[in-house]
A and B are shown apart, each in its own frame.
Chain A
Amino acid sequence: MFAVFQYPFIQNAFLAGSLVAITTGMLGYFLVTRGLTFAGHALSNIGFAGAAGAVLLGITPVVGLLVSTVGAAVAISVLGREIRERDVAIGVIMTFTLGLGILFLSLYHGYAEQAYSILFGTIVGISRSDVWVTAWLSAGLMAVLALVGRPLLFSSFDPELAEARGLPVRLLGSLFLVLVAVTVSIAMQVIGVLLVFALLVGPPATAIRLVQRPASAIGLSIILGLAYTWLGIILAANSTWPVSFYITTLAFVIYLPVRYLAKYRNDKRVQSESNRHLQVSAGSLETEVVTNDKPFSDQSTPMKGQRHA
C-alpha cells in the first residue's frame, strides 16, 4: 500500500498535493462564506485558457495560469460590481476564455492529450521544481492571508457593517479574488482545472456544517482537504483509476451525510434559543457564524425582476 512512496513522482505529488490542500482549505472557507463558489469555478475554468496559451508559446503552464486567472479576477471584480449581475458577468468571461483555450490548443499539435492533462491534472507529471513553485506561491498566499485575514472575515460576514467601520470592502473583495486566482493556478497541476473546485469547496462546505468558529472551521477544512488529497493519491497510485476521481468522490461522499446530519443538529440548536442569545451578547465576531445566516448575499435574488416591473 505505502510502497508507492519510493517513487519520486509520488513524493512530488504528495508534497504539492499537501500544499494545495492547505491553501485551498483556507481560501475555500472564505469562498464559501462569501457565496463566491461560482467565481471559484469560473476562475479555474479561465485557467484553462492560460495553461493552453502557455503550452502554445512553450513556457511553463503555471505562468500562463497565473496571468490569466489574476487578470480575470481583476476583470470580474470590475465588471460584476452589482451582485445581481455578477454570475452572468463571470460566466461571460469564463466562456470566452474557454473558447480562447480551445483555439490555442487547436493551434498546438498533440491537442487532445494536452487538453486532457490540463483539464484533469496529471500527478505523474509533477517535477521537483513544480513543488518548489507551489511552495513559494503558497507561502506568499498564506502571508497575505495572515495580513488581511481578520478584516476579510469581518467583511465576509457583514459587508455593510464593515463598510460603516471604514474597511475597504470592495478592495478586499478584489484582493480576495486575486488570492483565489493564485490558489487555482497552483492547484491545477495536481487535480486539473475542472476539479480544483472539489478541493476549493468540498472541505470548507463540510467543515462549516460541523463547527461554527471560523478558526476551527478553517482548521477542519484544511484537515479534510489533506485527508482527501492523501487518500486520493494513495488510492490512485494503487489502482488504475485517476486521482481526480478519488478526490471528487471522497469530497462528495463525506459532504452528503454531513449535510443531512448537520441540518438535524441545527434544528436542535434553534430550540435552545436562550443559549444562543447568551453567545450573541458576548459580542464576539465568531457569534456571527452561530446564526448560520448570510443575510446580505442571498436577498438580491428574489428581486431579480424589479427592473422590469
Chain B
Amino acid sequence: MLDLFQHDFVRNAFLAGGVVAIVSGLVGYFVVLRGQAFASEALSHVGFTGATAAALLGISSLEGMLFFTLLAALGMGLLGKRLRNRDVEVGMILTFMLGLGVLFLSILTQNATTAVNILFGSILSVTQTDVLVTIGAGLATIILLACMFRPLLFASFDPEIAEARGVPSQGLSVLFLLLLAISVSEAMKVVGVLLVFALLVVPAAAAEHLAHRPFSAIILSISISLVSCWGGLVLAFVGHWPASFYIVSLTSFFYFVSLGLRAILFPRRYKEPAHPSREVFPEVPNPG
C-alpha cells in the first residue's frame, strides 16, 4: 500500500485532494448556511464550459475553469440582488453554459473522453503545476475567509440585522461567491463537474446535523470531507472503480449516518420554523 506513494501521480493526487477537501469543507459550511447549494451547482456547470474552452485553446483546464467561474460568480453576485425567483435564473444560466460546453466539445475532435474526464474528474492526472495552483488558491481562500469570517457568519445567519448593523452584506456576498468559484474549480479537478456537490455541500450538511456551534460544525465538515477524499483515493487504488465514485459514496454515507445520529442524539430538536401563516395564536378561553 505504502509503495504507492513512491509514484508522483499518487502523491499529487493525495496532496491536491487534501487541499481541496479542506477548502471545500470550510466553504461548504457557508454554502449550506446561506442556502446556495444550487448556486454552487451552477458554478460547477459554468466550470464545464471553462474546462472545455481551455481544452479547445490548449491551456490547462484548471485555469480555464478558474477564469470562467470567477467571471460567472461576479455576474451572479452583482445581478442576484433579489433572492426571489433566483432559482430560475441560475438554472437558465446553468443550461446555457452546458450547451456552450457541448458546442466546444463538438468542435474538439476526441470529445467523448474529454467530456467524461471533465464531468467525472481526473484526480489521477493532476500535474505538479496543478497541485501548486491548487495549494496557492486554497491558501488564499482560507486566508480571505478567515479575515471575513465573523461578518460573513453574521450576514449569513441574519442578513437583515447584519445590514442594519452596517455589515456590507452585498459586498460580502459577492466576495463569498468569488471564493466559492475558486473552491468549485478546485473541487472539479478532483471529483468532476457533476460531483462537486459531494465535496462542497454534503460534508457540510452532515456536519450541520450534528454540531450546532459554527466552529465545531466547520471542523467536523472539514474532517468528513478529508476522510472521504483520502479514503476514496485509497479505495480507488485498492479496488479498480473510479475514485469519484468512492468519494461520493463515502460522503453520502456520512450524510445518512449523520441523519440517523441526529435522530438518536437530538430527538425532536428540529421544529418546523414558525411560518407567518402557520403562527400559533394563544387560544382564547371559551367563556361558555
Q: Which residues of A contact B (CB under 8 A)?
A: 32, 35, 37-38, 41, 45, 82, 84, 87-88, 91-92, 94-96, 98-100, 102-103, 105-107, 111-113, 115-116, 119-120, 160, 194-195, 197-198, 201-202, 205, 240-242, 244-249, 251-252, 255, 259, 294-296, 298-309
Contacts and interface: CB of A to CB of B under 8 A. Distances in A.
B125 interface: no
Given A247-B99, A306-B273, 13 more contacts: A88-B202, A88-B205, A91-B205, A103-B242, A105-B116, A115-B120, A245-B106, A248-B96, A249-B96, A251-B96, A252-B92, A295-B276, A301-B83
14 contacts: A95-B194, A95-B248, A99-B195, A99-B244, A115-B116, A115-B120, A160-B277, A198-B95, A201-B91, A201-B95, A242-B103, A248-B102, A304-B157, A309-B158
Contacts of B273: 84, 300, 303, 306
Contact of B92 (A201, A241, A296): A201
Contact of A119 (B84, B115, B248, B276): B115
Given A88-B37, A111-B116, A307 B270 contact: yes
Contact of B205 (A92, A100, A246): A92
B283 interface: no
A299 B95 contact: no
Contact of A92 (B88, B113, B252, B278): B252
Interface in B1-47: 32-35, 37-38, 41
Contacts of A240: 106
Given A35-B87, A87-B38, A95-B195, A102 B245 contact: yes
Nearest to B90: A37
Contact of A38 (B38, B99, B113, B195): B38
B142 interface: no
Given A38-B87, A106-B242, A244-B102, A99 B248 contact: yes
A96 B119 CA distance: 14
